[in-house]
Each structure stands twice: as C-alpha cells, then as structure tokens.
A and B are shown apart, each in its own frame.
Chain A
Amino acid sequence: DTGVSQNPRHKITKRGQNVTFRCDPISEHNRLYWYRQTLGQGPEFLTYFQNEAQLEKSRLLSDRFSAERPKGSFSTLEIQRTEQGDSAMYLCASSGRDGGNTIYFGEGSWLTVV
C-alpha cells in the first residue's frame, strides 16, 4: 500500500511531556498537510509544506507546536509541554501536482494527554 502513513497510531502521554508524530506522504506527492481533529468537529488545518518549505501555518498552532519536512519527503510534528487540550487525532495528508487540490489523508495519530 502506498498511501499516507502515520506513526505512532496511538500515543498516551503525561501532561508536560513532549511527543512527536511522523508522516510519510504518498511518494510522488510534493504537498503535505497536518490537521487536527477533535470529537464532533471537522479537521482543522495546522500547517502545510510544499516540498521542504513550510508555506502556511495556522494561528491555531501555538509555539509549542513545530513541524518539519527536512528533505521534502517525510514530516514530523512535535508538541512540546503537552496539555490536556492537545488530546485529539492528528491527521497528515498529501497531494500532488497532478491532483490539484485533492488531498488524501493518512490513518491519523491519536494523542491522549493524561
């Protein structure tokens, strides 16, 4: 399967700890997105990369959140000093030049902060 891959799929962490999620996009896709989704809500945009450049960043993304895509392939999303309000599903998605604005999601990484 060559879809978007995310890991870990589930993470339980204590408040105040740091967590990192990894995303491997569809191989030919140059655009990569991170979204966050809480129960009963649609996904909320966090940030967007085209190749290795981070082109957009939501105002929702506090300074505790940082994302990288160092070689334009996989990406990491790190959350420092986690808070209970960070508990959510973190979704990675990708799109390619030919696909226009059509984005495809990975299976998501569930974060629970206790």
Chain B
Amino acid sequence: QKEVEQNSGPLSVPEGAIASLNCTYSDRGSQSFFWYRQYSGKSPELIMFIYSNGDKEDGRFTAQLNKASQYVSLLIRDSQPSDSATYLCAVWGSARQLTFGSGTQLTVLP
C-alpha cells in the first residue's frame, strides 16, 4: 500500500464546473496536508495546506480534511482551462518528511 494514494485520472470537467480531487494516506501520525499544482514540465506550486479537520477555503479552492477516515480532498469551484494541470497531494508524516502521491491529472474543457 502506498503511503499517499490519489486517483491518477485523467479527470475531465467542463469549464465552470466543480472539480473534486481526492487523496488518502496511511500514516495516522500525519500532521499536515498540502495540495500542489504542477503544470507539465514545471515544478510543483503550493496551492493550499490544511492542519485541522474540516474545511479550509481560499478563493476558488477548498481543502477538506478528515483525519479519522485518513482522507483529504481539494475542490476547485468555477473550474477554468488554466486549472488544467496535475494536482499533487502531500502529507507531512511521523517520519518528518513530506510524502507525495502520484498526482491526479485534471483537464478543464472549454
């Protein structure tokens, strides 16, 4: 079992729709959770982080964390073609390292 799992996709949504990206993790000692966006050929760019159970909103992005279920998600409202990228879930675990999932490829169709 991978430490951080994401559906690889590709996930396609029409412009203006809500994109929902999911991530599960295995380390119950994990403390903080991050979402990065990565355009093809570029390095990861931090979008959001979340430490506590519940929702955290930042503009069109909402991160959701459920530690009991070991689940974290990212919602993108009013999706735009410029949101088309790979979204990486990352977890800061008990080994004091940031561990990444393999990423979900999102395509927003105009």
Contacts and interface: CB of A to CB of B under 8 A. Distances in A.
B105 to A, nearest CB: 9
B103 A105 contact: no
Interface SS of chain B: helix, strand, loop or mixed?
Answer: strand
B99 A105 contact: no
A70 interface: no
A107 interface: yes
A45 B102 contact: no
Closest 10 CB pairs of A and B: A42-B100, A101-B92, A108-B43, A105-B43, A45-B97, A101-B32, A43-B100, A42-B102, A107-B43, A105-B44
Interface of B: 4, 8, 31-32, 34, 36, 42-46, 49, 88, 90, 92, 95-103
A106 B32 contact: no
Interface residues of A, number: 20
Interface of A: 33, 40-45, 48, 56, 89, 91, 100-108
Contacts, number: 49
A101 B99 contact: no
A56 B96 contact: yes
A68 to B, nearest CB: 20
A91 B96 CA distance: 18
Q: Which of A89, A102, A106 has the most CB of B within 10 A?
A: A102
18 contacts: A42-B4, A42-B88, A42-B100, A42-B102, A42-B103, A43-B44, A43-B100, A45-B99, A48-B96, A48-B97, A56-B96, A101-B32, A102-B32, A102-B46, A105-B43, A105-B45, A106-B43, A107-B43
A92 B83 CA distance: 24
B13 to A, nearest CB: 21
